[in-house]
Amino acid sequence: MSWRTDDIPDLTGKRAVITGVTGGLGLHTAIGLARHGAELVVTARNADKAADAVERIQAAASGTKVNVLALDLADLTDVKRAANEVATTYDRVDILVNNAGVMATPKSETVDGFELQIGTNHLGHFAWTATLWPLLVSSSARVVTVSSFMHKSVSDIDLRSLTKEGSPRRYGRWKSYGESKLADLLFALELDRRAKAAGVPVVSVAAHPGYASTNLTKPAAGSKAMFLPGVAMHQVSKVLGQPAAHGAWPLLMAATDPELTGGEYVGPSGFSEMRGRPKLVGMTRTARNEDLATALWTASESATGTPFDV
């Protein structure tokens, strides 16, 4: 029998921290957890959008306690500031959903000089999780890392993109996005391996939403992406993509299914994993490459200046 949101257990007394809740997957993941009793700590870059998200969450799940934390994953100083704020404010984090991200952006850099997509989607969450690690361990937390079926579009990661010098290759927005999502999946699996080897009671699971219609496909006003292909893609996504609420199903299953013990990958069950009810899905041989995962971990520690000892 396929998984449904009714299968989410009672989360009363549990605290969930979710990055990126001003729309799309993050918002609907927050609503799904709140409807089952979870207390929420949600992050956002824009205070006005955050206030609107909180209003929508509380309208969908009356009485939910929601605290907002400012976080810019493209700024490592801010990432560590925000993570330390969580660690000093809260006594436990039961569920951490690393959801926020950017997709297929024009060539750009983070505050720290890294290519924007690998810097935001992977390095920001790596430093965030590493800084939160002592609290996650003491809480026996579950960590959900959001990847994408686009991890299948690449066969390797150019680790030079994790240096300030950057990769000398010609920039390709979709290739860089695919590599950032492969990095997310490699990170989730390596975190699981290290936690299990150390006997640490943290469960690391990955998930992807399929082809979901979210604001990630919407070009920002005035950006270089405001050209015909970018606008057309957003319109196609609105027609062919499943609703963001459905795209959140794999994230919710990954965050709450008690049968998951770590190392699983959850995605839609429909054709080509584009849409449908969530289930355990496969991944590429590259995503299972433990040598690449180890090299990525080491490069990420160096890039972020954040030791991550599990």
What would the two tokens of residue 248 be? 């959140």
> pLDDT digits over 171-204, tens only?
999 999 999 999 999 999 999 999 999 999 999 9
Q: Please compute the mean of the pLDDT values over residues 102-110 and round it to a whole number.
A: 96
% the chain with pLDDT above 90: 89
In which band, very low, low, confident or very high, does the pLDDT at 241 lie, cut at 50, 70 and 90?
confident
The CATH number of 11-304, from 3.40.109.10, 3.40.50.720, 3.90.700.10, 1.20.1530.20, is 3.40.50.720
> pLDDT digits over 248-260, tens only?
999 999 999 999 9
CA-to-CA distance for 79 and 102, rounded, in angstroms? Answer: 16
Query: Residue 164: what pLDDT?
Result: 85
Catalytic residue among 90, 171, 177, 211: 177
Query: Residue 305: what pLDDT?
Result: 98
- State yes or no: pLDDT of 220 exceeds 60: no
CA-to-CA distance for 99 and 97, rounded, in angstroms? Answer: 6
> pLDDT digits over 16-49, tens only?
999 999 989 999 999 999 999 999 999 999 999 9
CA-to-CA distance for 146 and 138, rounded, in angstroms? Answer: 23
> pLDDT digits over 137-158, tens only?
999 999 999 999 999 999 999 9
What single letter denotes the amino acid at residue 117?
Q
Q: Are 151 and 182 in contact (CB under 8 A)?
A: yes
Query: Residue 216: what pLDDT?
Result: 59
What would the two tokens of residue 24 be? 């799309």
- State yes or no: pLDDT of 277 exceeds 90: yes
- State yes or no: pLDDT of 210 exceeds 80: yes
> pLDDT digits over 41-57, tens only?
999 999 999 999 999 99
Q: Please compute the mean of the pLDDT values over residues 258-263 and round it to a whole number.
A: 98
> pLDDT digits over 278-299, tens only?
999 999 999 999 999 999 999 9
| CA dihedral angle for residue 123, residue 162, residue 107, residue 26, rounded to 10 degrees | -20
Q: Please compute the mean of the pLDDT values over residues 103-109 and round it to a whole number.
A: 96
Q: Is 90 a catalytic residue?
A: no
Sign of CA dihedral 158, 160, 161, 167: negative
Q: Are 79 and 303 in contact (CB under 8 A)?
A: no
Query: What is the end-to-end Cα distance of the chain in Å, rounded?
Result: 36
| C-beta atoms surrounding 65 within 10 Å | 11
Q: How far is CA 181 from CA 51, 195, 224, 242, 278, in A?
A: 28, 21, 22, 20, 19
Q: Are 300 and 162 in contact (CB under 8 A)?
A: yes
DSSP characters over 127-157 = HHHHHHHHHHHHTT-EEEEE--GGGGG-S--
Query: Residue 212: what pLDDT?
Result: 83
- State yes or no: pLDDT of 234 exceeds 50: no
Q: Please compute the mean of the pLDDT values over residues 216-231 and round it to a whole number.
A: 46
Averaged confidence pLDDT in the chain? 92
- State yes or no: pLDDT of 93 exceeds 90: yes
CA-to-CA distance for 107 and 142, rounded, in angstroms? Answer: 33
In which band, very low, low, confident or very high, does the pLDDT at 233 lie, cut at 50, 70 and 90?
very low
Q: Please compute the mean of the pLDDT values over residues 71-92 and round it to a whole number.
A: 98
